[in-house]
Amino acid sequence: MRDQLIHDPRLHEQDLTVRVEETRVTVGGRVSTPERQRAVTLAAQELMPGKEIANETVVVAQDEPEPGGDERMA
């Protein structure tokens, strides 16, 4: 399912994790826009109809540093 999500033309996000349980699918990771975050939920619902979708993705703009990164001002 992860491969299907990262290749979905609405997403193009490589930093996704997917955990599938009996009745629930949890998608995590980082996405670049709120629109792509919403698209994650829609795509997961299409791929796994009838399952609860927990979208735990975080929107991180392309120009923001990695979380926990050591950014220093010169």
Q: CB atoms < 10 A from the CB of 68, how many?
A: 5
Please give the residue range of the domain that contains residue 8: 2-59
| 50 falls within a domain | yes
- Count the domains in the chain: 1
| 53 falls within a domain | yes
| 36 falls within a domain | yes
Each residue's pLDDT, cut to its tens digit, for the chain (74 residues) gives 778 877 788 877 778 999 999 999 999 999 989 999 999 999 999 999 999 999 999 999 776 555 555 544 44
